[in-house]
A and B are shown apart, each in its own frame.
Chain A
């Protein structure tokens, strides 16, 4: 399994960019990096995913380093409603390197957006 490491918590001022780091140093070449968030008392919400190239959608940007060992999720203008636990996930592979369809969640980063 490719493991991910994230800071336990982060603060961000409202209106500023929130940059959430994730280390995945054992990632395999065909494994995607996924980001989800969970707002209190809700189910996880998909944000973005990527393989090698940087990705951007209406919610966030994903920056993946060239060696793919780490990535950063960027929320360009954080609002109070972005306060949530953010999970960086690398999909599980089998013993022989084949992809599975399971998403295994780590402990995530609690992002607190401050007014």
Chain B
């Protein structure tokens, strides 16, 4: 199994500012992902973080708003840019090995409130 640590665990931010969330995995993994969970809702996949290249974004999410970095196999960051109250959500990092039948592990999430 893999242990995933996210920082910060929570933050309150002013609208118009940006927040960078860090995700550290305790072992080398092939795949890393970022999800958003709005209040009372299920998880929505934002993007796949690719090592050494641009992230692959899902429909409705763009790089200018959610820039992602992944400089190595164990670390990734998600930035929420130019925040508005609608960005208030829990942001979760996930990691898994590649191939069929491999399980994914999740961090505890970052609870973001934009005021």
Looking at chain A's contact residues, the main secondary structure is loop
Check A49–B48 contact: CB distance below 8 A.
no
Check if A95 is an interface residue, CB within 8 A of chain B: no
Give the CA-CA distance A104 to B45 in the complex, in Å.
7
Counting chain A CB atoms within 10 Å of each CB, the highest count among B42, B43, B100 belongs to B43
Name which of A37-45, A62-70, A76-84 contacts chain B: A37-45
* A43/B92 in contact, CB under 8 A: yes
Chain A count of residues within 8 A CB distance of the other chain: 23
Report yes or no: B106 in contact with A49, Cβ–Cβ below 8 A: no
Chain A residues whose CB sits within 8 angstroms of the CB of B31 once the complex forms: 101
What residues of chain A lie closer than 8 Å to B104, measured between beta carbons? Answer: 36, 46, 103
Assembly CA distance A101 to B42 (angstroms) = 19
Chain B binding surface, main DSSP class: strand
A9 within 8 A of partner (CB)? no
Whether B43 contacts A105 by the Cβ 8 Å rule is yes
How far does the alpha carbon of A46 sit from the alpha carbon of B105 in the complex, in Å?
Answer: 7
- A45 contacts which chain B residues (CB < 8 A)? 106
Contact status A30-B100, CB under 8 Å: yes
A107 lies within 8 A of chain B by Cβ: yes
Q: Which B residues fall within an 8 A CB radius of A?
A: 4, 30-31, 33, 35, 42-45, 48, 92, 94, 96, 98, 100-101, 103-109
